Amino acid sequence: MKNKKSDNSLIDFEVKGGNKLSGTITTNFSKNGSVGLLCASLLNKGITTLHGIARIEEVYRVIEILESIGVKIEWINQNSVKITPPKKYELKKINVESAIKTRSIIMLMGPIAHFLKSFSLPHAQGCNLGKRTISAHTYALEKLGFKIKTTNCSYDVSYKKLKPAEIVMYESGDTACENVLTASALIPGKTIISFASANYMVQEICFFLETLGVKIEGIGTSTLTVHGIKEINKNIEYWNSEDPIESMMFISAAIVTDSRLTITRSPIDFLSLELEKLKRMNLKFKILKKYYSHNKRTKLADIEIFPSNLKALADKIHSNPYPGINIDNLPFFVPIAIKAKGQTMIHDWVYENRAIYFTELNRLGANITLADPHRVYINGGTKLKPAQVVCPPALRPSMVILISMLAASGTSILRNVYMINRGYEEIAKRLNSIGANIKILK
């Protein structure tokens, strides 16, 4: 099964809203886990087989990048890939067009450094969420011996010798932490990472590195100790776990459409605070059962959502590094707050532009006031109406518009849904399977 190449044609969704959702939907494999594992697999000189790799545009871009530098990647079934590393990485042949479309490109710094003492990576784009500094990456990697020069179009990386270190992360960034993990994995000795992210995709990389033979202490906490080894050369198989952000999206979709819906295989540790906030907003739900993902480390649960009369929280809703509300789950509280009676303040302090995109929901009849680039006030209880909206250049706000359209009786058009396809696999088909009415327009 060959890697699917994206046709960059514009795709729109026609959404006939007002239908209730029902039945059961299964949470797909994690987007961020997929791209992180693909990058981390480069550490292994043996063959790596990864199961649970999401078939989404972001993954296709990463695969195109890896193939362009000499990695052989073969889809062996719907969500599994076999990765064979090259004898030599050809960074000068890197697919620049794919590289600039995904911010994941930066996560190649850590692994590639173990095979090339100097190389360049193109600047990335990904979502347009304001200025996104790479200082957390550079400051931490410099502690390990990296020299990173940022030019107008590239990151130039070089070093004389890599060494273990004690690192305090400049910020608790997920991709920065993954970069430091993959960099330190093949530096013999003990590297201590303080103020590390404990988020789901970082834990996934830790579990994967342990499968490769790298001992890591403190997984799930803000201090990680990596016992680096000299070489990894083994044939292994590893399962990526499910995506808590997708589970939250389905929870939000069920709430805004007043539906009874069961979401299975939800990573419960990364949804617990979100569910506690929703409980205080008067959401009725049940945790049906708990079990482990295929990686035997990530806890999953089946969650049943019931139609509920929601009320706004008196307190603001904001994200924090894990175990706070996940940064990417925060946008899904926006349509929920539109549903809830009362005023809700949502503070999206991490990204400079994302809160601005929430005001696009006013086109659908929401009453959202932008206080500043980070905060919105939502006056709930308004009835949503159909409209035509162009996807903003950001994944989660685009998805928030789509699920709000599900609640708006009538026909809406969502233009240019590439951003949604970056992070969600066959989302129209899957939402239709539980009662939505979405038509793909090409």
Q: pLDDT (tens digit, 9 = 90+) per residue, 286-304?
A: 999 999 999 999 999 999 9
Mean pLDDT of the chain: 95
How large is the angle between the packed helices 57-68 and 31-40, nearest 10 degrees? 10
Structure tokens given for 234: 């083994």
State if pTM tops 0.85. yes
pLDDT of residue 10: 84
Residue 123 pLDDT level (bands cut at 50, 70, 90): confident
What average pLDDT does the segment 129-156 reach? 87
CA dihedral 100, 128, 326, 375 (to 10 degrees): 170
pLDDT of residue 125: 63
Structure tokens given for 49: 């087989």
Q: Is the pLDDT of residue 322 over 60?
A: yes
Strand arrangement, sheet containing 223-228: 166-168, 189-194, 223-228, 215-217
Q: Is the pLDDT of residue 347 over 60?
A: yes
Query: How many CB atoms are closer than 10 A to CB 145?
Result: 17
351: left (phi over 0), alpha (psi -120 to 50) or beta: beta
pLDDT of residue 133: 73
Q: Phi and psi dihedrals of 123, rounded to 5?
A: -65, 145
Q: Is the pLDDT of residue 116 over 80?
A: yes
d(CA 419, CA 11): 10
Please answer whether residues 336 and 310 qualify as being in contact, where contact means their C-beta atoms are separated by less than 8 angstroms. yes
Top-confidence residue, 17 or 127 = 17
d(CA 84, CA 47): 5
d(CA 173, CA 67): 27
pLDDT of residue 351: 87
Q: Which fold has domain 31-239?
A: UDP-n-acetylglucosamine1-carboxyvinyl-transferase; Chain (3.65.10)
Q: Where are the alpha helices (DSSP H) in 114-232?
A: 135-143, 174-185, 200-211
Please answer whether residues 108 and 68 qualify as being in contact, where contact means their C-beta atoms are separated by less than 8 angstroms. no
Closest listed residue to residue 335, CA positions, set 302, 310, 303, 372: 310
**Which DSSP string corresponds to 422-436?**
HH-TTHHHHHHTTT-
Residue 228 pLDDT level (bands cut at 50, 70, 90): very high
Residue 47 pLDDT level (bands cut at 50, 70, 90): very high
Please answer whether residues 132 and 106 qualify as being in contact, where contact means their C-beta atoms are separated by less than 8 angstroms. no
Q: Where are the alpha helices (DSSP H) in 9-93?
A: 31-40, 57-68
d(CA 161, CA 400): 46
Structure tokens given for 292: 């482990």
Q: Phi and psi dihedrals of 58, rounded to 5?
A: -60, -40
What average pLDDT does the segment 410-424 reach? 95
β-bridge mates for residue 155, sequence order: 121, 150
Sorted by where each begins, the domain ranges of the chain are 12-28+242-441, 31-239
Q: CA quadruple 128, 133, 136, 140: dihedral positive or negative? A: positive
The amino acid occupying position 402 is L
Please answer whether residues 164 and 184 qualify as being in contact, where contact means their C-beta atoms are separated by less than 8 angstroms. yes
Check if CATH label 3.65.10.10 holds for domain 12-28+242-441.
yes
Of all residues in the chain, what percent are helix, strand and coil, respectively (each to 5)?
35, 25, 40
Structure tokens given for 208: 């994967």
Please answer whether residues 11 and 440 qualify as being in contact, where contact means their C-beta atoms are separated by less than 8 angstroms. yes
Structure tokens given for 400: 């928030």
pLDDT of residue 9: 53
What average pLDDT does the segment 401-424 reach? 96
d(CA 220, CA 216): 11
